[in-house]
Amino acid sequence: MTGLLAVLILVSVDAGPPGAPDGGVRAPAPPRSPEDEEVIRNLDLLEHLAEGQALEMLLELDADRSKPDR
């Protein structure tokens, strides 16, 4: 009885449309325009700035913790 129930549950689960690609194969990415490249460069710059700010904040917190309590 439990085997039949398990089969019914598996059959009722939607597996997507038949013939869907499988195996992790992705479609090739479309070519990037010059504007896309500029946005990507600016995003990288902003990420590096944010990382630098986070590092400065951690260093300040570490300095505050190393001070003796009053």
Please report, as a single letter, which amino acid is at residue 22.
Answer: D
Could you tell me which residues come within 8 angstroms of residue 32 by beta carbon, excluding any fewer than 6 positions away?
40
The predicted pLDDT at position 64 comes to 86
pLDDT in tens, 3-49: 666 655 665 665 655 554 556 677 788 899 999 999 888 998 888 88
The predicted pLDDT at position 22 comes to 58
Distance of CA 4 to the CA centre of its chain: 39
The predicted pLDDT at position 28 comes to 84
- Rama region for 5: left / alpha / beta (φ>0; ψ in -120 to 50; rest): alpha
pLDDT of 70 strictly over 60: no
Distance of CA 11 to the CA centre of its chain: 32
Q: Is the model's pTM score more than 0.75? A: no
